[in-house]
Amino acid sequence: MSDPLETRLKSIKHILVVLSGKGGVGKSSVSVSLALGLQAQGLRVGIMDVDLCGPSLPRMLRLEGQSIHQSAQGWSPVQTKETVSASSATHPLGCMSIAFLLGSKKDSVVWRGPKKNAMIKQFFQDVAWGPLDYLVIDTPPGTSDEHLSLVEYLRLAPDVQSVIVTTPQAVALSDVRKEVDFCRKTNLAIAGVVENMSGYVCPHCTHCSNVFSTGGGESLATEYGLPFLGRVPLDPSYTATLDGKGSESTGSLLQDFVASPLKPVFEGIVGKIVEGSKTSEGDAE
């Protein structure tokens, strides 16, 4: 009899595990933006939160208060309610987060490692995504029990790669070295490095100033021989988009994303990831 975990994983062509050495560098924002960028290309995309103690995807995806439904196939992911006319997206974005299983959004998860591991396994085994081109996984910062169990369960998946998110400052970069080390020790392939909060976009004139240093993520990628995926500036209008509060908000996250000044930046990053996935598919043949 086939292993239920393996059967589920085989229906997902590519898995992107989004990692960061430190909290607050924009890992969840990048995870959501990658998912939206892939969805805008017409691909079938899911996004999963394994940040069990601090899930932020439901808030960013405007899905707070929703809950998971059980069907004969398993847990149905919660889908974003989008009108997709502003892009070539043809499939809804499905999301799975521990927050959908908690009764109240104020409930917090205080679990030890084994319980977290069991929940992560259940996420992979029980969520009925249907066939997906990409599953984007948002993880907690650093390297914890969640990361180790994730890597362990994903051994059965056809293609798994990490995307490492950092800010350009030296303090964040030293933590990234630990992430690279973790990936190498666990044989997790690295799709590349994203340098987030790289410069500040003026809300008045959209000029981008380098308030802090810039280019640290690219130098680190070069040092380790990793692809550099791109530099994302800190754009206050994008913070508002992710918080669903922008004065220009259309009410649809996907349409707000498509209209955002950061869309071309994420298009470039997604383009490099998709190209890399094709190369790895070619290598596997």
Q: Is 197 in the site for ligand ATP (CB under 6 A)?
A: yes
Q: Which of residues 190-209 bind ligand SF4 (CB under 6 A)?
A: 202, 204-205, 207
Give the one entry of ligand SF4, ligand ATP, none that residue 44 binds, where binding means its C-beta sits below a cut-off of 5 to 8 angstroms depending on kind: none
Nearer to ligand SF4, 118 or 202 (CB): 202
User: Which distant-in-sequence residues (6+ apart) come within 8 Å of 17 by Cβ?
Assistant: 137, 139, 150, 151, 154, 160, 161, 162, 163, 188
Spatial distance between the Cα atoms of 127 and 77, rounded to a whole number of angstroms: 7
Residue 105 marked as a ligand binder: no
Q: Determine the longest span between alpha carbons in the chain, in angstroms.
A: 61
Helix (H, G, I), strand (E, B) or coil at 74: strand
Spatial distance between the Cα atoms of 270 and 253, rounded to a whole number of angstroms: 18
Q: Is 195 in the site for ligand ATP (CB under 6 A)?
A: no
Residue 116 marked as a ligand binder: no
* Contact yes or no for 52/109 (Cβ under 8 A): yes
Q: Is 112 in the site for ligand SF4 (CB under 6 A)?
A: no
The residue among 209, 196, 210 whose CA lies nearest residue 168 is 196
Q: Is 106 in the site for ligand SF4 (CB under 6 A)?
A: no
Nearer to ligand SF4, 92 or 199 (CB): 199
Give the one entry of ligand ATP, ligand SF4, none that residue 270 binds, where binding means its C-beta sits below a cut-off of 5 to 8 angstroms depending on kind: none
User: Which residues would be at the binding site for ligand ATP (CB under 6 A)?
Assistant: 20, 23-29, 51, 54, 56, 141, 196-197, 232, 234-235, 238-239, 242
